[in-house]
């Protein structure tokens, strides 16, 4: 998760980057993401200018989209500023190992 500051990148419905200008500074990052197993889950604008959503700059990148759900854009981080990032909320599912159960029948 983080602020990537790449307003020229669009994202398709599968969470993969689509870059119109291959000569842009974002080309190296989008090329690396395209060749990785990472999927981007944020699908709404995360940056506001003058109180209105303007760009998708903050990403949640995962290898397994089934481990993250309910990605939501929250209020701006700094509501007093003319330019501000929105907060991002999501649920992350982490597998937990169950402790072995104690079987009292296994005494000497």
pLDDT, greater one: 71 or 103: 71
Residue 57: other Cβ atoms inside 10 A: 18
CA 19 to CA 53: how far, in whole Å?
Answer: 21
Q: What is the pLDDT of residues 24-78, one digit of tens each?
A: 777 888 888 878 888 889 988 888 888 888 888 888 889 999 999 999 999 988 8
Residues 82-87, mean pLDDT to the nearest whole number: 88
pLDDT band (50, 70, 90) for residue 1: low
Write the CA distances from 50 to 9, 53, 58, 79, 94, integer angstroms: 21, 8, 18, 10, 38
CA 61 to CA 6: how far, in whole Å?
Answer: 14
Lowest mean pLDDT among 2-6, 27-31, 40-44, 97-101: 2-6
Q: Which of 95, 55, 53, 87 is nearest to 71 (CA)?
A: 87
- Return the pLDDT at 72: 93
Residue 106 has pLDDT above 70, yes or no: no
* Ranges of each domain in the chain: 2-92
Residues 80-92, mean pLDDT to the nearest whole number: 89
Rounded to a whole number of angstroms, the CA Rg of the chain reads 20
């Amino acid at each position: 998760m983080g602020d990537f500051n790449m307003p020229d990148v669009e994202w398709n419905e599968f969470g993969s980057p689509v870059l119109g200008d291959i000569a842009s500074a974002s080309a190296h990052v989008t090329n690396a993401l395209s060749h990785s197993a990472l999927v981007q889950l944020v699908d709404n604008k995360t940056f506001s200018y003058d109180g209105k959503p303007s760009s998708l700059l903050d990403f949640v990148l995962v290898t397994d989209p089934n481990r993250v759900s309910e990605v939501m854009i929250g209020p701006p981080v700094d509501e007093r500023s003319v330019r501000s990032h929105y907060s991002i909320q999501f649920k992350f599912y982490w597998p937990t190992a169950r402790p072995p159960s104690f079987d009292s029948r296994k005494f000497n």
